[in-house]
Structure 1
Amino acid sequence: MESSFLGLALAAILILRFSTPVNSSCSATRPSPRNVDIRYVEVSCYNTTLYPKLCYHTLAIYASTIKRNPKLLANTALNVSLVNTKSTSRLMKRVHRIPGLEPRVVAAMLDCVEEVGDSVYELRRSMKEMGRAGGSNFSMAMNDVETWVSAALTDDDTCLDGFAEEGMDRKVKTIVKRHVQRIARLTSNALALVNRYASTRASLP
């Protein structure tokens, strides 16, 4: 009788010991929708873009809005690039008015103001075209988007080329390089995600 009771008690202890952790473990490792959305952004950035860390850090905060949607991901990347490019455009306009700059520095800055301003316009056009992409005109609209974003990236690179010469004002050169290089990388990432979305849709029957 006593041995039977001890056997039942031990059996009960073993059931509790081995069943409870399994259940709690399953509950703890089940990913939340937010974690899945963030993971989607991370994988997309690291598998698609040239600057994945920048891509992830600038887009992960919008993961709950993107919701594993490649079009929303591309749109968000374009918008992030546009917002930063507009900010840089305003900065360029202020910097070129700094008194005492050499004429060639002023000339390079004026070129940058124009190039970055063009980039703002082209990113706006690309976002407008993204809104029109759908149905039978999808391929044509996406070609236009890719063209506009590529042009914006070229403008950013052209601005940087103007400061590649030796002897340019170091402080101004540093400011331009830091800000314009950032928007060029954001635009490069946006273009990669746009291309990804376009190719994904094109492969559908």
Structure 2
Amino acid sequence: MAAAGSYFSITALIILIQLATNLNSCSAATPIRHSGRNTRFIRTSCRTTLQPSLCFVTFSRYATRIGGSPRLLATTALSLAFNTTRFATKSMITLSKRHGLKRREAAALRVCVEELGDSIDELKDSIGKLSRHGAGGSTFRSQMSDIQTWVSAALTDDDTCMDGLSGKSINRKFRSRVRRRVVKVAHLTSIALAFVNRYAATHK
């Protein structure tokens, strides 16, 4: 009888362990499915941009926070564009203080700093307005129109900066170094504009 009791105890223990394992697997599967859904939303949204690969690599890490919200996606994109533009501007200011720059290079940097400064203001205003937009109707459409105008202007500022770097008198290495920063800014701003347009379209 003792042996039989021992056998049943071991059997019951095995069943409990298997049950616990199954429950843990089920509970672990839920967030994975949820995360997969969020990632698919990012991937689908990025297909509407001009830089889908960069977009997915950049925003997939924020998939859980964004969820499936077009508004949070647009807000996140604007914030990343704003932070990247601000960082690029600071690096150009530092670069402009170095000795040995040609007059043409120094002038191009001044233009970039000025243009990106405008871009920073426009993106900041866009973030502020998007965070306090109305629920819908004409007010919402007016606010989104302002945001679209500002982000488009920020993208134009980026292009103006890069145009100033196209002169032959500018050192190729210098031009490549600056353009690399501005191109990243422009790409993220372009993605932000696409997401703002997508969000605006959901309330038409």
TM-score if structure 1 supplies the norm length? 0.82
Q: Is 1:59 matched up with 2:56? A: no
Compute the TM-score of the two structures, normalised by the length of structure 2.
0.82
Q: What stretches of structure 1 move > 4 A for 4+ residues in a row?
A: none
1:7 is matched with none
Distance 2:71 2:91 in 1: 30
Q: Deviations over 1:107-131 (max 9, x none)?
A: 1111111111111111000111111
Match of 1:143 among 145, 155, 165: 145
* Partner in structure 2 of residue 4 of structure 1: none
Q: C-alpha separation between the residues in 2 aligned to 1:147 and 1:49?
A: 18
Task: Indicate yes or no: 2:166 matched with 1:164.
Answer: yes
Gapped regions of structure 2 (runs ≥ 5):
1-25
- The alpha-carbon deviation at position 104 of structure 1 amounts to 1.2
Paired residue for 2:120?
A: 120
Give yes or no for contact 1:74–1:194 (8 Å, CA) kept in 2.
yes
Letter in 2 for 1:116: L
SS state of the match for residue 202, structure 2? helix
Match of 2:84? 84
Amino acid in the other structure paired with 1:159:
C
Structure 1 counterpart of 2:46 = 45
The percentage of counterpart residues that share the same residue type is 43
Give the Cα–Cα distance (whole angstroms) in 1 for the partners of residues 166 and 133 of structure 2.
38
Say whether 1:132 aligns with 2:132. yes
Is 1:187 aligned to residue 185 of structure 2?
no
Residue 57 of structure 1, CA deviation? 1.1
For structure 1, the 5+ residue unaligned runs are 1-26
For the 8 Å contact 1:58–1:80, the answer to whether it is kept is: no
Matched residue pairs, number?
175
Aligned match of 1:18: none
* Aligned counterparts of 2:65 and 2:148: Cα–Cα separation in 1: 23
- Structure 2 distance, partners of 1:56, 1:79, is 16
1:134 & 1:51 partners in 2: Cα distance?
A: 30
CA RMSD of aligned residues (A): 1.6
